[in-house]
C-alpha cells in the first residue's frame, strides 16, 4: 500500500536558495522509497513531478504584487488554501509536509520543517505584513503539527523553549548536501573557472544573502587588512542575492570592487556554486545566526577549508572553532593564503 505524501514545493518557483534546495533534496530522497507517492503543491496547482527550474520572472512579479497590493500575504493565503483544498479532495494525501513557516490547513497528519527563528531574532528582516502573518499563524501551526523537523540541536532547543513544546514532538534531522559538492581537480574545473575569470585556489569565497546577520562587513574588513599583494592575488568572491539592508555594504563593497579585490557573483545556480566551492582557497562564513549553515558543510564536502564563527548552530556543523578577533581572522587568512 502506497503512502500519499503532499509536499508544498512553492519554494521551487523562485531561484533555488536554502529552502528550495531543501525541498529538492528531500523530494529526491523520498522518491527512492517505492512505498511513497509524492504529490507536489506549487501554490496554485498540483503536479506529480518535481519542478526542475524556477518559474521565469517569478521573483520580480511576486515582489511587485506584494508591494502594490495591501494585505497581499493574506489574500495569497486564501487563494492558495482554496487551491490546496481542491487538490487534496481529489488526491487524498495521507500526510502533508510543509517545509516553511506557513503550513496550510489540512485535516490529516501534518509534518513541518522549522529551519530557524530568524523572524524572532531579526524581525526587521521581514516585511511587516509577512511578520504579522507569521506571528499570527505559527503558534497554531506548531500545535497542529504531528512532528516538527529542525535542522540542528541548537534550533531544536530554541523551538522547545520558545513555544513550550514537548521533546518528542521536535525531531532533529541534520541536513546533508548534494553529491555535486565534492573535491575536484584544477583540470576538472578549468573551463568553467576560465569562463568566470577565476583561478583554481586563487580566490576566497563568501556565500550568503547580503544582509547584516551574515556578517559580511566583518568579512570585508578582514579581507581589507590583508597586504595589497595578497588581496590582488586572492580576491574575495561574494556569492548571494541582495537581501535586507544590502545597501549597508555598498560603501565598503564599491571601493573594494573598484580596486578588483572583491568580486560580486550574485546568485549562482547549484552547478556553478559547486564549482566555486570546490575551487576556492577557503570559505569564510562568520554569520551571527544560522539554523544550520549549509555552505559550511558544502565546502567541507568539497575539500575546501572553512573559517566560520562559533555562533548558533555552526559548531554542530563544523566543530567548535576558537574565538577569533578580526586581527586573528586576518592572520589566519594570511597563513592559509601563504601555505
Average pLDDT estimate for 228-252: 77
Q: What is the H or E stretch that residue 231 is in?
A: helix 228-233
Cα-based distances in Å from 307 to 20, 99, 282, 319:
25, 29, 7, 11
How far apart CA 28 and CA 37 sit, in angstroms, is 12
Q: Is residue 253 scored above 80 in pLDDT? A: no
pLDDT at residue 255, as a whole number? 74
Nearest to 336 by CA among 204, 185, 198: 204
Please tell me if the domain spanning 3-172 has the same topology as the one spanning 186-337. yes
Q: Is residue 329 scored above 60 in pLDDT? A: no
pLDDT at residue 235, as a whole number? 95
Please, which pLDDT band fits residue 17 given cuts at 50, 70 and 90? Answer: confident
Q: Residues, the chain, total? A: 339
- pLDDT tens digits for range 86-100: 999 999 999 999 999
pLDDT at residue 214, as a whole number? 82
pLDDT at residue 218, as a whole number? 86
Please, which pLDDT band fits residue 3 given cuts at 50, 70 and 90? Answer: very high
Q: Retrieve residue 173's grid coordinates.
A: 534531522
Class of domain 186-337: alpha beta
pLDDT at residue 71, as a whole number? 64
**Rounded to the nearest 5°, which phi and psi values hold at 264?**
-100, 115
Question: For the chain, which residues make up each domain, given as ranges?
Answer: 3-172, 186-337
pLDDT at residue 66, as a whole number? 55
**Lowest mean pLDDT segment, chosen from 257-261, 265-269, 305-309, 333-337:** 333-337
Share of the chain above pLDDT 90, in %: 58
Average pLDDT estimate for 25-40: 94
- pLDDT tens digits for range 183-220: 999 999 999 999 999 999 999 999 987 777 788 888 88
For the domain made up of 3-172, give the CATH fold. Rossmann fold (3.40.50)
- pLDDT tens digits for range 162-183: 999 988 899 999 998 889 999 9
Nearest to 280 by CA among 226, 199, 162: 199
Average pLDDT estimate for 266-291: 94
DSSP state of 151: S
Q: Is residue 339 scored above 90 in pLDDT? A: no
pLDDT at residue 322, as a whole number? 55
Q: Is residue 283 scored above 90 in pLDDT? A: yes
Cα-based distances in Å from 88 to 4, 45, 92, 242, 303:
11, 11, 5, 36, 44
pLDDT at residue 126, as a whole number? 75
Please, which pLDDT band fits residue 4 given cuts at 50, 70 and 90? Answer: very high
| Cβ atoms 36, 69 nearer than 8 A | no
Please, which pLDDT band fits residue 38 given cuts at 50, 70 and 90? Answer: very high
Q: Is residue 131 scored above 80 in pLDDT? A: yes
Q: The whole model's pTM is what?
A: 0.86
pLDDT, mean over the chain = 86
Q: Is residue 324 scored above 60 in pLDDT? A: no
**At which residue does the C-alpha cell 555552505 appear?**
295
pLDDT at residue 161, as a whole number? 94
Q: Retrieve residue 206's grid coordinates.
A: 563568501
Question: Which one is predicted more confidently, 268 or 75?
Answer: 268
Amino acid at each position: 500500500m502506497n503512502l500519499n505524501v503532499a509536499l508544498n514545493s512553492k519554494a521551487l518557483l523562485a531561484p533555488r536558495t536554502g529552502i528550495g534546495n531543501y525541498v529538492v533534496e528531500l523530494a529526491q530522497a523520498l522518491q527512492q522509497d517505492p512505498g511513497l507517492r509524492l504529490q507536489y503543491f506549487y501554490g496554485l496547482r498540483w503536479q506529480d513531478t518535481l519542478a526542475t527550474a524556477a518559474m521565469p520572472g517569478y521573483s520580480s512579479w511576486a515582489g511587485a504584487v506584494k508591494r502594490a497590493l495591501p494585505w497581499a500575504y493574506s489574500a495569497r493565503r486564501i487563494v492558495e488554501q482554496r487551491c490546496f483544498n481542491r487538490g487534496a479532495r481529489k488526491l487524498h494525501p495521507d500526510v502533508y509536509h510543509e517545509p516553511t513557516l506557513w503550513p496550510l490547513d489540512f485535516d490529516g497528519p501534518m509534518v513541518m520543517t522549522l529551519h530557524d527563528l530568524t523572524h524572532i531574532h531579526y524581525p526587521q528582516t521581514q516585511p511587516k505584513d509577512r511578520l504579522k502573518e507569521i506571528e499570527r499563524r505559527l503558534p497554531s501551526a506548531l500545535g497542529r503539527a504531528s512532528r516538527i523537523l529542525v535542522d540542528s540541536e541548537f534550533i531544536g532547543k530554541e523551538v522547545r523553549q520558545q513555544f513550550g513544546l514537548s521533546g518528542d514532538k521536535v525531531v532533529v534531522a541534520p541536513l546533508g548536501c548534494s553529491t555535486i559538492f565534492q573535491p575536484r581537480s584544477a583540470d576538472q574545473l578549468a573551463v568553467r573557472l576560465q569562463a568566470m575569470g577565476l583561478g583554481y585556489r586563487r580566490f576566497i569565497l563568501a556565500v550568503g544573502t547580503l544582509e547584516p546577520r551574515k556578517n559580511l562587513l566583518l568579512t570585508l574588513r578582514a579581507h581589507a587588512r590583508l597586504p595589497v599583494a595578497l588581496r590582488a592575488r586572492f580576491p574575495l568572491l561574494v556569492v548571494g542575492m541582495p537581501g535586507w539592508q544590502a545597501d549597508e555594504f555598498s560603501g565598503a563593497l564599491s571601493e573594494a570592487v573598484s580596486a578588483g579585490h572583491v568580486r560580486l557573483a550574485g546568485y549562482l545556480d547549484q552547478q556553478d556554486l559547486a564549482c566555486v566551492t570546490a575551487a576556492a582557497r577557503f570559505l569564510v562564513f562568520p554569520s551571527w545566526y544560522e539554523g544550520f549553515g549549509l555552505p559550511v558543510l558544502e565546502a567541507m564536502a568539497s575539500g575546501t577549508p572553512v573559517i566560520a564563527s562559533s555562533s548558533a548552530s555552526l559548531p554542530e556543523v563544523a566543530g567548535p572553532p576558537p574565538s577569533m578577533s578580526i586581527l586573528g581572522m586576518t592572520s589566519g587568512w594570511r597563513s592559509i593564503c601563504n601555505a
